[in-house]
Amino acid sequence: MLKIGIILGSTRPNRVGAQVAAWVQEHASRRGDATYELVDLLDHPLPLLDEPLSPMLGQYQHEHTVAWAGTIAPYDGLVFVTPEYNHGLPGSLKNAIDYLHAEWRNKAVGIVSYGVAGGTGAAAQLRQICGQLGMADVSRQVVLNLHTDFENYSVLQPNEAHVALLGSTLDQLVDWSAALAHLRVEAAFAG
């Protein structure tokens, strides 16, 4: 069975992202087509990138990097839950992505974004980064607007259209994760 990580990209106090990630996990876990696990960046405190060598070499020097690599490597696909700060993704998520290289490769990625404008700027940046790292981002995306999809900008209230779109996003994610499996196996065998 496929293993999908739901990465919560915000580490801010009072973040609404925890609600969004829990909502994604709740609906995903009902599906039965993969196992879905929450990966909260708060549980993986990474300093600003401090590896002396490029992550492309895979020669990680620090325990926190080795632990982070061990967390990400087993997943077949990922859902990034990202806020948008100043029309971009949060530094915590970018930093966590920059730590690794091979662990991201040949994995499908779905995006659930939120913010004043739905997080579309953050999602666009994330798609560029994913492409550079050899990840395949699916076209379906869940966009949550702080004005209309959260009560008082703080309590998530997704509607049925969001639930349906999340289902479509996860359908694509599972299909692409399965389709890319042979590439992940070949890379592991070659490594």
Task: Give, in order, the Cα–Cα distances in Å from 23 to each of 18, 108, 144, 153, 184.
Answer: 9, 20, 12, 16, 29
Q: Mean pLDDT over residues 139-166, rounded?
A: 96
Annotated domain spans of the chain? 2-190
Nearest-angstrom CA–CA distance, 130 and 7: 14
Burial profile 102-131: b = 16 or more Cβ within 10 angstroms, e = fewer: bbbebbbbbbbbbbeebbbbbbebbbebbe
* Residue scoring higher pLDDT (191 or 143): 143
Each residue's pLDDT tens digit, 114-146: 999 999 999 999 999 999 999 999 999 999 999
Q: What percent of the chain has pLDDT over 70?
A: 97
pLDDT in tens, 37-62: 999 999 999 999 999 999 999 999 99
Both tokens assigned to 6: 């739901």
* Lowest-pLDDT range of 42-46, 99-103, 169-173, 184-188: 184-188
Instruction: Output the pLDDT for position 187.
Output: 65
CATH number of 2-190: 3.40.50.360
Mean pLDDT of 84-112: 97
pLDDT averaged over every residue in the chain: 96
Tens digits of per-residue pLDDT, 102-117?
999 999 999 999 999 9
Give the torsion through C-alpha atoms of 30, 122, 102, 41, to 10 deg: -60
Asked whether the predicted pLDDT for residue 189 surpasses 60, the reply is no
Beta bridge partners of 109: 78, 137
Pairing mode of beta strands 150-151, 155-156: antiparallel
